[in-house]
Amino acid sequence: MDHLKIKVIARDLGADLCGIASVDRFQGTPSGFNPADIYSKCKSVIVFAKRVPAGPLYAESCIPYTHVNDIITDEVDSLGIKLCLILEDLGITAVPIPSDDPSEYWEAENQYARGILSMRHAGYLAGLGVMGKNTLLVNEKYGNMIQIGAVLVDIKLDSDPLATYTVCRPKCNLCIDKCPQKALNGETVNQKNCRKLSIVVNERGYVLKECYQCRRICPSALGLRDK
């Protein structure tokens, strides 16, 4: 199977981005979170993403952003399953990975969760972007407004080159300085602090994404601009 053909299939299904990483690129991943830990016969990881509409970033209400986030996440998961079915018809075993929930790893005291596969790191290893100081994957065309999905396959495919562009200005610390919860340090995010505003259950029981300042304030939020 030609890796270019797989990327065409993913784009035909609605992916705005698609890249491929050999499982070998995931060496050093924490035990239990390597693609081979999820599916022992995995040889390659197909990583794709859909563009997220940017308008909700600038709305005074968090409802539009929450609404878009929920829908795009479902669309990415649906795309992954459709891709798996097509690959299965071609004789390839394909395992879809959820774009967000569910996950298993949880440290209650630190309010720290970890998906079975880090989508942002998978995206980096498949050449879709570079990690910003806000810990978000930033693509040169779409910025950090992307939702990432992945499929593990049992065939060896050519890996895409890693992205080498710079997404954060050398002295830019906007996301760190403006985070209302002081949850960022330029390398990691303190999930316990972040969750207090980013994921809120209101009185009606709805889960709202109330804070996304690190995404909105980034100069590269919508793609790379002149530095």
- Specify whether 19 is located in the same domain as 85: yes
- Specify whether 14 is located in the same domain as 47: yes
164 within domain boundaries: no
pTM above 0.85, yes or no: yes
Q: Are the C-beta atoms of residues 48 and 150 closer than 8 Å to each other? A: yes
Q: What is the pLDDT of residue 74?
A: 98
* Selection from 175, 223, 219, 202 nearest residue 62 by Cα: 202
- Specify whether 24 is located in the same domain as 56: yes
Q: What is the pLDDT of residue 31?
A: 85
63 within domain boundaries: yes
- Specify whether 135 is located in the same domain as 77: yes
- Specify whether 79 is located in the same domain as 116: yes
The parent domain of residue 191 ranges over 174-216
- Specify whether 38 is located in the same domain as 124: yes
Q: What is the pLDDT of residue 226?
A: 57
- State the Cα–Cα distance between residues 35 and 24, nearest whole angstrom: 10
Q: Into how many domains does the chain fold?
A: 2
166 within domain boundaries: no
149 within domain boundaries: yes
26 within domain boundaries: yes
pLDDT tens, the chain, 227 aa long: 788 999 999 999 999 999 999 999 999 888 889 999 999 999 999 999 999 999 999 999 999 999 999 999 999 999 999 999 999 999 999 999 999 999 899 899 998 899 999 999 999 999 999 999 999 999 999 999 999 999 999 999 999 999 999 999 889 999 999 999 999 999 999 999 999 989 999 999 999 999 999 999 999 999 997 54
108 within domain boundaries: yes
- Specify whether 119 is located in the same domain as 87: yes
User: Which of 102, 120, 153 represents a domain boundary (last residue)?
Assistant: 153
Q: Are the C-beta atoms of residues 51 and 142 closer than 8 Å to each other? A: yes
CA distances in angstroms from 108 to 21, 113, 121, 191, 198, listed in the order given = 32, 9, 23, 11, 17
- Specify whether 119 is located in the same domain as 34: yes
Exposure string over 185-219, b if 16+ CB within 10 A, otherwise e:
eeeebbbebbbebbeeeeeeeeebbbbbbbbbbbb
169 within domain boundaries: no
- Specify whether 115 is located in the same domain as 13: yes
- Specify whether 109 is located in the same domain as 181: no
Q: What is the pLDDT of residue 227?
A: 46
- Specify whether 136 is located in the same domain as 185: no
The bridge status of strand 146-153 relative to strand 130-131 is unpaired
